[in-house]
Homo-oligomer: A and B are copies of this chain.
Amino acid sequence: MSYTKIDQYLEKNLDGSIAELSELVAQPSVGAQNWGMQECAQLTARLLAKRGFTVEVLPTGGAPVVFAERKGRNADKTLLFYNHYDVQPAEPLELWETPPFEPSLRNGKLFGRGVSDDKSHITARLYAIDALLDSDGELPCNVKFLIEGEEETGSIHLPKFITANKGKLAADACIWEFGGVDHREVPMQYLGLRGICYVELSIETAAIDVHSGVGGSIFENAAWRLVWALNTLKDQNEKILIPGWYDGIEPPTARDRELFDLQPDAAEEYKTRYGVKKFLKGVTGGTDLFMQETFEPTCTICGLTSGYQGPGSKTVLPARASAKVDFRLAPGQKIERCLTLLRQHLDSGGFEEIQIEFLGGGPAAKTNPDDPFIKLVVETAEEVFESRMELIPMVGGSGPNYPFVHELNMPVATAGLGYPDTRAHAPNENIRLDLYVKHARHMARVLKEFGK
């Protein structure tokens, strides 16, 4: 099949698609701060309606889901795109070279909060659809979009939404919200996502902050209580100390290890990219580094706050302290059980007064590397990227793939336009325009081959 006409369309109309992406990035949609969510959902809906999709903005109990569908030539095949319109907070603002919500194009890259994660993946897929409609006048198969607004805050309402809308969401396969190339420009197929259980631990020890000269030796200090409690969660060798935490974990398979063995060592590249000198637990690289990065449960402090944090000194005994803690889960670990174990552990350590607020999460899930849909996505990538797409059994990040794999029973393939310096979740998040076009070309091919 020739893709000449489609590829030409995608070379010629880039400015228009990037303008559409810029409009989407300029609309803040910071879920954690409940900033611009409705506006961004409506804008996303308009972009879909423009392409002739039937669009619904559906309530979830939190930020709404944008659901869209359009029939295609092959009425028996349906492809579901999963995306999200919410973005991470932009802080720390002072580290951005240009304002996070004023998209800035320089050196073939577009910068802005959410430009990579995940707004470009929405518009690049619409761009592929534009090219197919331009070339053929119709879509090759039925296409559905499920675009949620709570991915960055743990997709807290999505699993229930999926259970309640199984018929509406029914499809044969799913293209996931992200994907991309590694530092060699090789496209990656991510087959599994780690689970996550994100909590805020907080403590209040007094009604008011007290002068530290007065209270320092006689009143409890919220910051100290928090430090001592956190210290009981993980030792300096990264072992999580909560009893029972590692029980029930499904270990990686021989096939998982085999797939990682095929990958080139990433150690030097990681060191350069992140400015670190070594890795935790003494691993030096190779498959061991990948296995630790992706299959290990973690306990990460994402934020600490207490007392005075401005310049200079303030002599105060803090009455309140809190920590944001992100537990990544291996396959087999269940959210409810983890929360119960955490509570029991804090209580048995004398930290009954520490409050646990669950801020979102879900279990880990994996797609079979030998599924025919995975094969199709891998094969269509080859011509576009001039490189064989590689299979990664699991990544360290998380996402709500569990209900797609286990409720909707569909294979989930990743394909996208990320690259190592894309800075998702960090200041100066950006995309490369060349990869934007490649992703659209890839998606046009996936849809066309899938519709056959």
Q: Which residues of A contact B (CB under 8 A)?
A: 31-34, 88-89, 91-92, 152-154, 194, 196, 198, 200, 205-221, 223-224, 226-228, 230-231, 234, 236, 238, 270, 274-276, 278-280, 283, 289, 292-293, 296, 298, 300-318, 321, 323-324, 326, 328, 350, 359-360, 395-398, 423-427
- Is B218 a contact partner of A194 (Cβ separation < 8 A)? no
Interface of A is mostly: mixed
Hey, which chain B residues are within 8 Å of A304, CB to CB? 223, 226-227, 304-307, 309, 318, 321
Hey, which chain B residues are within 8 Å of A274, CB to CB? 206-208, 210, 215, 219
- Is A359 a contact partner of B312 (Cβ separation < 8 A)? yes
- Is B315 a contact partner of A223 (Cβ separation < 8 A)? no
- Is A318 a contact partner of B302 (Cβ separation < 8 A)? yes
- Is B312 a contact partner of A33 (Cβ separation < 8 A)? yes
> Which 6 residue pairs across A and B have the least CB separation, nearest first?
A207-B275, A213-B397, A32-B312, A303-B307, A223-B301, A216-B298
Known contacts A194-B213, A274-B206, A280-B217, A303 near B318 by CB under 8 Å: yes
- Pick from B34, B301, B310: contact of A89, CB below 8 A: B310
- What would 10 more interface pairs be, CB under 8 Å, given A33-B311, A196-B315? A153-B313, A207-B275, A210-B426, A212-B302, A218-B292, A302-B308, A302-B313, A304-B306, A313-B360, A316-B425
Hey, which chain B residues are within 8 Å of A306, CB to CB? 301, 303-305
- Is B303 a contact partner of A397 (Cβ separation < 8 A)? no
- Is B276 a contact partner of A205 (Cβ separation < 8 A)? yes
Closest Cβ of chain B to A374, distance in Å, is 21
- Pick from B210, B270, B302: contact of A314, CB below 8 A: B302
- Is A303 a contact partner of B223 (Cβ separation < 8 A)? yes
Which residue on B lies nearest to A317, using beta carbons?
B300
Hey, which chain B residues are within 8 Å of A236, CB to CB? 228, 350
How far is B198's CA from A172's CA once the two chains are assembled, in angstroms?
Answer: 63
- Is A305 a contact partner of B302 (Cβ separation < 8 A)? no
Hey, which chain B residues are within 8 Å of A31, CB to CB? 312
How far is B117's CA from A314's CA once the two chains are assembled, in angstroms?
Answer: 13
How far is B397's CA from A212's CA once the two chains are assembled, in angstroms?
Answer: 7
Hey, which chain B residues are within 8 Å of A423, CB to CB? 208
Hey, which chain B residues are within 8 Å of A227, CB to CB? 227, 230-231, 301, 304
- Pick from B226, B300, B308: contact of A216, CB below 8 A: B300
Known contacts A301-B224, A315-B196, A397-B213, A310 near B280 by CB under 8 Å: no
Hey, which chain B residues are within 8 Å of A309, CB to CB? 303-305, 324
- Pick from B154, B300, B308, B321: contact of A91, CB below 8 A: B308
